[in-house]
Structure 1
Amino acid sequence: MTDNFEALGRALPQIIDGVLMTLQLTAGGALLAFVVAIGLGLLARFDNILLRGIARTIIELFRGTSLLVQLFFIFFVMPLPPFNIEIPAVLAGTIALGLNYGAYGAEVVRGSINSVDAGQWEATTALSMSRSQRMWRVIFPQAWVLMIPSLNNLLIQLLKGTAVVYLITIVDLTAELNKLRVQTDVFFAYTLGLLIYFAIAYALTLAMNALETRAKHRLGQGGKWRDTITTTPIPDMKGAGQAA
């Protein structure tokens, strides 16, 4: 065991670099996934059948194919004819993660918007709000509260999905753990990996729970942040009727 910790001490700078790379991929992928989810989720609700069809096609394409295949396609196939687009490994990983999880997020966005009480839509019509005012001032803030728990789950899945990017030469946490395994043993290296991934995931969960609590406060639904440490906030739309 002493030898394992000595090897860990020698490998610590590289493991920290791997953690930072994992965080970079998670942040970049999450940002792109959020933009894709909002864009496709709203587009999938359009009355125009062509725009709605394009959104549905993109969503089903990225939901229905493997993240690993998408990653390999972006990194290995895009540089070949007829595309001739060479994409750096980190950017390729970020794009693959963002598009894949963004497609899942689009369904969360669409479903959450559809779940807003029909009375809210009727109220915005009675107030003669424009389509954009209706969405961003009344409907979306209520749907946002409903989205956050599911988006939190996708964020954690995205974090874990970064583990596959080492296959395109990116040295992330998983790659460094594989190196540490050679110097120590399987149990030590991957137990350390479990603890690190858990710590990151739990920190992200607390941040998303705090975001949900803040969103509920804006709707006048109360709730305390400290309650999110041990429990996941349950969306309560009792006060939503006052938002319109």
Structure 2
Amino acid sequence: MNTPVLTVPAPALKFDDAGGGAAVLEKPVTVLLGPVTAAGDPVAPSALTGFGFAVVRRRTAGAATEVWDDQGKHWLPDTPASAATPIALAYRVGDPAPWQGMLVAGGATDSAGAPAFAKAAGGYPQYTVRGAFTATGGSPVAGPSSTPFTLVGAADKNLIVVGAGPDESPTDATQIRVLLKNTALQEIGGLVIDRDSPGAAVTIRNAAGASVLLRADGGVEVHPAPGRGVLIAGDLEAERVTYRPAGGGPKRVLS
């Protein structure tokens, strides 16, 4: 007797959207799948020897995908021969999306104790989810993938950031930041103080590319955005001016 081939739908995901398809790391992602069928008929858990959802990640653009092994607590190459154990799904009779599960990324660790899931930097790591089902007497079947998503920290979706540098605490901070973001969560201006023993460097910058740097040695640097200038709307007093002629060549001192 032949075992009917399973048809597994693509998962739908529900999460606290931080913008741009990013889920908040500290909050769960709900995974919902419609009926799994065999020859057009819905399949119940009693007809299966395994059911769950696999989490797949791509760490950087162009990198090979990896799949999370929920039993071994590590990432494996995402190949047909992979023996990764999926995350469990529950079955709700009569629900339009009867297969339901939850991805709790915040606080999850791998077998070495390192964080299993990471906040995105430059759009990666990127994650997808797919159903993983095995009929009694049959082979594992992987369904189509969900829409890709990334992870951000709860504080990352705030339009104002005030505090220590990335991954620093107030007790070990080498940097303090005051940043403003637009509604797309892109930084548009900031004040950053970096420890530069025995002093500190202070940078004021904006999204247009202009910045002012107060160096730890007491020097001051003014950097307009490319193609822009520095306007002084008032009197200018200077002890000495060093400049480079418009036609090029070595710098000169104006006397």
Q: TM-score, normalised by structure 1?
A: 0.23
Larger-gyration structure (1/2) = 2
| TM-score, reference length from structure 2 | 0.23
Between Structure 1 and Structure 2, which shows a larger proportion of helix residues? 1
